[in-house]
A = this chain, B = another copy of it.
Amino acid sequence: MKAIASKLDNCDCNVIHEDIVADVRAKMPDDETLMNLADLFKVFSDSTRVRILCALQYSELCVCDIAFLLGMTKSAISHQLRSLRQTRLVKYRKDGKSVYYSLDDEHVGNVFEQGLLHVCE
């Protein structure tokens, strides 16, 4: 049954367990969904962003607060807050000269918890 292998032959081998592969393929979410999933985890894959999100779990904070807390420049923090804004993980409100950031997603804490279960043991 080389027919199936030929329709997607970017791979450099033959299928060994044709039936199992077909079964798994049918059960898997589509590629777009898994790509979005990877993109979400990409946001959590940087320690600066993780520390920002973690801090915001305890309190709303302005950019200077976060910069001081993490020992980094306002610019670096602002750059990371930008991607957190774009992925809708944080929201902000302006008050005078300051901009206050807070979490904007109920799932953030859950994702953290599951991750910590793996890290701390």
Q: Please report A residues at the B interface, Cβ cutoff 8 Å.
A: 5, 8-17, 20-21, 23-25, 27-29, 31, 33-42, 44-47, 49-51, 54-55, 58-59, 61-62, 64-65, 67-75, 98, 105, 107, 110-112, 114-120
**Do the beta carbons of B65 and A20 come within 8 Å of each other?**
yes
The A interface, classified by DSSP as helix, strand, loop or mixed, is: helix
Tallying the copies of this chain within the complex gives 2
Q: Which residues of B contact A45 (CB under 8 A)?
A: 38-39, 41-42, 44-45
Tell me if B10 and A73 are in contact (CB < 8 A). Answer: yes
User: In the complex, what distance in Å separates the CA atom of A63 from the CA atom of B62?
Assistant: 48
Tell me whether B47 and A34 are in contact (CB under 8 A): yes
Contact present for A35 and B47 (CB under 8 Å):
yes
The CA-CA distance from A33 to B29 in the complex, in Å, is: 31
